Structure 1
Amino acid sequence: MANRVNGKVVTPTGVIRQGCVELDEDRIRAVAEYPSVHDGHWIVPGFVDMHTHGGGGHTFTTGDAEQARQVAAFHLRHGTTTLLASLVSSPFALMRSATEAYAPLVAEGVLAGIHFEGPYLSSARCGAQNPEFLRDPSTDELAELIKLGDGAVRMVTLAPERDGALEAIKLLTAHRVVAAVGHTDATYDETRAAVAAGASVGTHLFNGMRPVHHREPGPVVALLDAPNVVCELVADGVHLHDGMLTFATSTAGPERAALITDAMAATGMADGEYDLGGQAVTVTDGVARLARDGAIAGSTLTMDAALRHAVAAGIPIADAVRMAATTPARAIGLGDQLGALQVGLRADLVVLDDDLNVVRVMRGGSWVE
């Protein structure tokens, strides 16, 4: 007999107010109406965070496998059943050692892959990236990392205006690695060229990008306008004004807007002094900023908090759930395996109360302790 979880089930097509999810070991066997259920909890798919640097006092940015396990465990308790390990701009030696350290965790299923946010980024839009490490894209470096990772490298963020960027994008996409546009001072046309070359994600849209101008629309408009690009949005009220969050969501649609945390080690921890990729970060009232210039340095967001923020900003819950699970899963090439409450997909789900706080988390058919 399959297990059954009853409640208000959020599917990609809407909400089943009186519903149930039936499970067969680690898979979803059925999603159906279940009229005897009254006012149960919300049942949503496990969240998919395609951009996170750390959490719970631990970080991905050093390439330490034990820290990576702790980050994944911390975010799992907040409903994130699938996540990429995002590294900030680093020397190539660290990129190599992190790939070697994390590839076994990807094979084990602890991580869904590695995301290199840099170092092939714009100095003018580096944000909290370390300017010392920024450089032009190297197809040699990328080819070596892809081979070394044997499937572990899942996404690379680069600035399309840098020399060699289009060749790098073509190499990445040829190896089924997602090419993302971010930390960029690119023009509208340069961004469109990157999309034409295969780029399919906009890294934390608006943040670390040349701003919109009516005579030079820049990367934001080019990415929002591209039908095959998923735009990441940090829904924490700090990175984006809620009006911009809802504008971008309505423009791209929930099928092209993905909620991310961009979380750092300080997530879930007290205010104080932290490190992000070798740079000092001060967290005050939960807002992380570089000590040297006050630039926003990632977030202290979790995916459940991002979902609550998006819904409070006016995004319908079915759309917000799609943005927190279904769309990011598809963006990183896992939409056929997880990210929605659909028959045959992995049984990852989160039970939320009426205030959208996490009650229970299931990953692969097993409840998380």
Structure 2
Amino acid sequence: MRLLVKNAHVITPYEILRNYDLAVEKNKISRILPSGVLDERDFDEIIDAEGNHVSPGFIDIHTHANSGFDTMDGTFEAIDAMARFHIKNGVTGFLTTTMTDSTENLEKAIKNVASYISLQRGKPQTLDTSGSSPAEVLGLYLEGPYFAETKKGAQSPKYLKNPDIQELTKFIKLSEGSVKVVALAPELPGAMKAIRFLRSQGIIVSAGHTDAAFDTARQAFDFGVTQVTHVFNGMRGFTHREPGISGAALIDERVYCEMICDSIHLHPGAMKLVVKAKGKDKIILISDSMMAAGLSDGEYTLGGQKVIVKGKEARLLDGTLAGSTLTLNRAIYNMVHMVGVSLADAVRMATLNPARAIGIDKQKGSIEIGKDADLVIFDEDLNILKVIKSL
């Protein structure tokens, strides 16, 4: 199928090309030229962007749930519903994210995601311009159960434990190789060995729900940790005498910082600090969404615990924040309007940066010749107008 997207402001990794056309052939981006240069008669389908922005499809690497469903439900219906919600909000690929839970429930969730991924990959190659196909499940993000109790956040304390390489080996096998990220607290006994093991398996290690001090954090980075889970949240805070893991992450160029840009988890001033420290290339916008995303205020669950959502804030009964109701298009909007980041840089934080972090940037994450035609058309307010997905 030959597709032309015309009259667009095309967001590339380097600039915004205003009034350009974008051609897609065999599910890949083939040409990007000024509007009117390409002959429309050469194409099977033409989409007029009408002067709106075209960006790469958003990639959410940390999302638990949405629309009333959760990864931990362990059902095809749950993952499919989540994937269909994501595509409507511009997310063309995501990592389903688990919670600290019983071994039995974790294994069920992992096997279910592996089965869903297998079904997606087994379908014929095509290009969907209707927005009816679900977003692609790119893999699994295991958030827990290897966390510090003092920084557990909304993770269930009942199932917290020290890192276990034997258990991790079983999880990886059950996932059929789909585990992409494992979050753990690097100060726990056995954590450094687990980090080395996971890196040997090609798996990204993120430091999360951790009370690690500055020196321990630096050691973990040397061992192979390349990411921190929702920076400043679920981790030792920064002070001038003990910068902690948050301080260590901000000054280490090897480390990506996940960020929940909703002005609830982080004050805009804190977000500006992260941008000043990490620049445009080492921030990953995440939703960390729970099942209330896309739904109204009310009572929900996360990791088996009751969550009350009020005014888009999701909290446990004791007031602890319990994920978010954020979507990535809103996170990008917030980065532009709350933090003052350029649109191109904010888009990068939700596309190319997560793609690079999990090692898929040769195929996805930016509008460049030869890459997958995962595209989003949106207006000035980041309302999603059209999604194009390479399947």
How far 1:34 moved relative to its partner? 2.7
Which residue pairs with 2:330 in the alignment? 305
Which residue pairs with 1:295 in the alignment? 320
Q: Distance in 2 between matches of 1:278 and 1:81?
A: 28
Encode CA deviations 1:94-139: one digit per residue, 9 max, x unaligned. Answer: 2222121111222325411111111000100011111111110000
Q: Distance in 1 between matches of 2:267 and 2:276?
A: 14
What code does the residue aligned with 2:327 have? T
Q: Distance in 2 between matches of 1:59 and 1:231?
A: 24
Which residue pairs with 2:25 in the alignment? 24
2:112 aligned with 1:101:
yes
The question of whether the paired residues in 2 share the 8 Å contact of 1:62 and 1:277 is answered with no
What code does the residue aligned with 2:328 have? M
How far 1:39 moved relative to its partner? 6.8
Q: Distance in 1 between matches of 2:95 and 2:278?
A: 23
The question of whether the paired residues in 2 share the 8 Å contact of 1:18 and 1:35 is answered with no
2:260 aligned with 1:259:
no
1:76 to 87, 91, 94: 87
Query: Is the partner of 1:112 in helix, strand or coil?
Result: strand
1:188 to 214, 238, 261: 214
> TM-score, normalized by length of structure 1?
0.96
2:304 to 252, 256, 278: 278
Q: Distance in 2 between matches of 1:94 and 1:120?
A: 15
Which residue pairs with 1:55 in the alignment? 66
The question of whether the paired residues in 1 share the 8 Å contact of 2:59 and 2:351 is answered with yes
Q: Distance in 2 between matches of 1:66 and 1:169?
A: 33
Query: Is the partner of 1:111 in helix, strand or coil?
Result: strand
Encode CA deviations 1:37-88: one digit per residue, 9 max, x unaligned. Answer: 9971010110000000111111112322220111111011100001000011
Which residue pairs with 2:257 in the alignment? 231
Alignment RMSD: 1.5
How far 1:31 moved relative to its partner? 2.4
Q: Distance in 2 between matches of 1:38 and 1:273?
A: 39
Which residue pairs with 1:2 in the alignment? 2
Q: Distance in 1 between matches of 2:22 and 2:200?
A: 37
Query: Is the partner of 1:163 in helix, strand or coil?
Result: coil
Query: Is the partner of 1:70 in helix, strand or coil?
Result: helix
Query: Is the partner of 2:332 in helix, strand or coil?
Result: helix
Encode CA deviations 1:161-198: one digit per residue, 9 max, x unaligned. Answer: 00011111111111111100011100011111111111
Q: Distance in 2 between matches of 1:30 and 1:95?
A: 44
The number of residue pairs the alignment matches comes to 364
Q: Distance in 2 between matches of 1:148 and 1:59?
A: 19
Distance 1:275-1:33 versus aligned 2 partners, 3 A rule: same
Percentage of matched positions with identical amino acids: 39
2:273 to 229, 247, 265: 247
> How do residues 103-122 of structure 1 correspond to structure 2 at under 5 angstroms?
103-107=114-118, 108-109=120-121, 110-122=136-148
Which residue pairs with 1:356 in the alignment? 382
The question of whether the paired residues in 1 share the 8 Å contact of 2:145 and 2:184 is answered with yes
How far 1:148 moved relative to its partner? 2.1
Q: Distance in 2 between matches of 1:335 and 1:237?
A: 29
How far 1:142 moved relative to its partner? 0.5
The question of whether the paired residues in 2 share the 8 Å contact of 1:18 and 1:38 is answered with no
Deviates more, 1:250-259 or 1:37-46: 37-46
1:330 to 342, 356, 359: 356
How far 1:243 moved relative to its partner? 1.4
How far 1:234 moved relative to its partner? 0.3
Q: Distance in 2 between matches of 1:90 and 1:19?
A: 49
Distance 1:35-1:187 versus aligned 2 partners, 3 A rule: farther
The structure that has the greater radius of gyration is 2
Query: Is the partner of 2:351 in helix, strand or coil?
Result: helix
What code does the residue aligned with 1:48 have? I
Q: Distance in 1 between matches of 2:209 and 2:328?
A: 22
How far 1:150 moved relative to its partner? 2.1
Q: Unaligned stretches of 5+ in structure 1?
A: none
1:46 to 49, 53, 57: 57
1:205 to 231, 242, 253: 231
Q: Unaligned stretches of 5+ in structure 2?
A: 38-47, 122-135
2:75 to 64, 67, 72: 64
Which residue pairs with 2:248 in the alignment? 222
How far 1:20 moved relative to its partner? 2.1
Query: Is the partner of 2:73 in helix, strand or coil?
Result: coil
Encode CA deviations 1:299-325: one digit per residue, 9 max, x unaligned. Answer: 000111111111112110010000011
Which residue pairs with 2:177 in the alignment? 151
